[in-house]
Amino acid sequence: MAMTSRERVLAACAFRPPDRIPRYDKFWQYPAEWEARFGPAAELTDIWILPPDETPFPSRARPVREDASSQYAIDPWGRLIRTPKRGAYFTETVEVPIPDGVDPEAVEFESPMDERRYLLGCADAAAAARELARLNARYCVFIKTGGPYLRTTFVRGEAEFLQDIAADPELAQALADKVGEHITAVGVEALRRWDLRDTGVWIYDDMAYNDAPMFSPAAFERVFLPAYRRMIAAYKAAGARYVLLHSDGHILPILDMLIDAGIDGLNPMERRAGMDPVQLRETYPRLILTGGMCNSDTLINGPAERVRAQARELIDLGRDGGVVIGTHSISPEVPIDLFAAYDETCRTYGDFALTAAWR
């Protein structure tokens, strides 16, 4: 009998054979042409990642001003953000809430216990409960929180925080600890309110570029590892069955420390950054692998047989569990016919009952 998405993903996480390869994909855009060919985007994934509001200053968010080219606003991270009115996808951070000279201990974050953090964008708790029930009925739902590196750059500034890590690691650790403590409290409360202990938490913390982490392994061990140990221990003490890490880039130099801290799985395994799923499985036989499809080369440039071969490699890795196939994200650069090759391979070769019959 076919498994539900929840059963399928949890079987894979437990290294038990699922009925078919679980999937986790996200789309930057999903044009009508794609929906007509593949169905709704929400039907192409088994996993739903649910974020509480972990921002430190949600009550500060407000528009500030605008000019001919841009709009300016304070966001819930306390940053002054410039948003171009046209021609740009990303925003610019103009000011941060913890600039040079500000004592982190003097900055007070708003309470993690505020009920509004857990309403899922709904009007009230009853509506949020209905939305959570709807998602749980269709998907394997995990909680999402940030991690102590990336979220600290939001309140300190990316360049400023990297300079702190190099020149003032004591300050950098104090900042990471403060942000990590706040995020952890929000994640623990989300676990309690949403009762997602059977699944767990994904920590999103992009810490690397294509060649290496943003900092040395020694700097990670000093500045971030203590916060990671406390965060993962708190999530598991609150009942989270699994804690997975999402980080772009080449994080192999710090991966052993993250696994030692308690990470159960890794996403998205960017091949362009040297994160090869087959090598990861050989080195870490009990690490849950999610992702693995290359969205920067294979799915953009093809050809279709190369797409199918890469998908089959991941599917074969996951026949006995331990793998959720997917991409980092599907951008508009991915041609529809190459995505079709990937989708068809998942639906056919990735159906383990069907391929067992072939064999």
Residue 12 sits in the same domain as residue 92? no
Residue 119 sits in the same domain as residue 92? no
Q: Say if 273 falls within a structural domain.
A: yes
Residue 64 sits in the same domain as residue 174? no
Segments forming the whole domain that contains residue 38: 5-57+109-358
Q: Does residue 357 register a pLDDT over 80?
A: no
Beta carbons within 10 angstroms of residue 9's beta carbon: 27
Residue 35 sits in the same domain as residue 157? yes
Residue 87 sits in the same domain as residue 173? no
Residue 223 sits in the same domain as residue 113? yes
Query: What is the rounded CA–CA span in Å between residue 26 and residue 122?
Result: 22
Q: Say if 245 falls within a structural domain.
A: yes
Q: Say if 103 falls within a structural domain.
A: no
Q: Say if 218 falls within a structural domain.
A: yes
Q: Say if 293 falls within a structural domain.
A: yes
Q: How would residue 126 be classed by pLDDT, with cut points 50, 70 and 90? A: very high
Q: Say if 246 falls within a structural domain.
A: yes
**SS3 letters across 32-71:** HHHHHHHCCHHHHCCEEEECCCCCCCHHHCEEEEECCCEE
Residue 295 sits in the same domain as residue 152? yes
Residue 37 sits in the same domain as residue 86? no
Residue 48 sits in the same domain as residue 88? no
The backbone region for 101, taken as left when phi is positive above 0, alpha when psi lies in -120 to 50, beta otherwise, is left
Residue 209 sits in the same domain as residue 234? yes
**pLDDT tens readout for residues 301-327:** 999 999 999 999 999 999 999 999 999
Q: Say if 101 falls within a structural domain.
A: no
Residue in 54, 174, 51 with CA at minimum distance from that of residue 120: 51
Residue 180 sits in the same domain as residue 62? no
**pLDDT tens readout for residues 247-304:** 999 999 999 999 999 999 999 999 999 999 999 999 999 999 999 999 999 999 999 9
Residue 52 sits in the same domain as residue 116? yes
Average pLDDT over residues 32-60: 97
Q: Does residue 163 register a pLDDT over 90?
A: yes
CATH number at residue 214: 3.20.20.210
Query: What is the rounded CA–CA span in Å between residue 29 and residue 315?
Result: 26
